[in-house]
Amino acid sequence: MESAHLSTRYFSKFQAFLMSKVRSPRQKIWEENCVVLSDPKFTRKYQLFDEIIGEGSFGTVITAECRTTHEKRAIKAIRRIEKVAMLTIELDLLTELGGHFNIVQLHDFFYTNGSVALVLEYFPHCTASELLMYSKRDLSFALLYFRNLLTAVAYLHHNGYVHRDIKLSNFLFSSKTNSFRLVDFGLATNDRSNIECPRNIAVAAMEKDKECTACRRTSSPCMFCKGRPKRETYHVVGTPGVRAPELLFGLGLFNPSIDIFSCGIVLLSLVCAKHPFFMPKDETENIMDLAFLLGSETIETMAKLEGMRVTISERLPPADYYHLILCLRFGFDHVRLHCSSRQSCESCRRRSYNNLKGVCFCRKDYETEKFSTGKNESDLMTIYVDLIYHALEPDRFKRYNADQLLQLIESYENRVNFKPKPLTNRDEF
């Protein structure tokens, strides 16, 4: 019996050895396109599986197993590294901060003939549609998600890094362990906001410049106006639909505030149960999408503060986030019948899908009607609205940072969880 047991054990090991030598057609293609995956140094330590976790313009994330510990790993395979400086920042960031405060952990690194393999912790997670399902089922889930996201972002910013690609698919949630991970630092950079061109210099340059003759304030918006004066290399980074307005104008490329705006879009998407919230085709459409939320006049004012002339021909009022969330989460007909006593609005009917009765979700003025949406300060929807207003502030210098947003959440939770002690005869007034 003992010999039979030993033979079975050795046979299983031999079978596992043979399986490790057999490569699927997909693995062969990966190894041909990314030579680091066929490097003996890599293959001696890790065995690739056929499971793709994610795929993007920079490379592919593949599942693998450590041959010694038999633990699963996520391999971020980059076919060809073009900007070594960006890879250096990603490696420095993960080496320094990985494994702490919801930042994904780096285990190993391989480099062969221009191709790169980052060995990261394997983190099984929910899809974006599953996240929306959790948010629909439990309104408080979005607050849990947002608080953990801000914890990771605050940790990055405190250590001098900017992520620059915050989105729903880059902040993972595991329902099994109830934990979170911030991933994909391919666009991350150092915080260089202290060397930006001061606003007053840019405004002075704009005032000396003549008004644009290309649009004469009729464009939607004018690409020529926003191109003067140029203060930084104009290169839009990040994912369309979650970019901050200043980023679309080539400003604040290394400022932590762009991460906060993206966090605000993520929260809005979760609470409204709509992902992606915007799907712009280009930068111009992205600016118009932001005008839908912030108002066209607010975008133009923000651009003037930055020393730019931007003209949006369609006059859009700013959105009231409280009513917008209700409309998108519960439907326009439900809000019209049960939640809103507002008059029908032609502007809201035209700029929203399936709003046949013109349920109004706009505000007359961005500043004066801010935060006047909730009636109960302990209401969960009210704290969502406050967080979104502060995170989606168009002026990047007024926009709350991660610490301030976390303080808002903590203040709300303290109010909700506060239980007064019963009065006794010994209490003094």
Q: Which positions ≥6 away from 123 have C-beta within 8 Å? A: 74, 104, 172, 174, 181, 183
- d(CA 232, CA 159) in angstroms, rounded, equals 23
Q: Binding site annotation covers 76?
A: yes
CA of residue 94 relative to chain centroid, distance: 18
What sign results for the dihedral spanned by CA atoms 113, 115, 117, 118? positive
**H or E element that contains 63:** strand 60-66
Closest to 383 measured CA to CA, from 278, 242, 267? 267
Residue whose pair of structure tokens reads 């983190």 in the numeric block: 123
Is the distance from CB of 327 to CB of 273 less than 8 angstroms? no
- d(CA 9, CA 15) in angstroms, rounded, equals 10
Closest to 91 measured CA to CA, from 63, 111, 69? 111
CA dihedral 163, 169, 175, 179 (to 10 degrees): 0
**Extended beta strands in 347-428, E state:** none
- d(CA 182, CA 101) in angstroms, rounded, equals 9
DSSP string spanning 156-203?
Answer: HHHTTEE-S---GGGEEEETTTTEEEE---TT-EE--GGGSPPHHHHH
Task: Locate 96 and state its tokens.
Answer: 């320094």
- d(CA 15, CA 244) in angstroms, rounded, equals 53
- Which segments are annotated as binding site for ATP? 76
- Which segments are annotated as binding site? 76
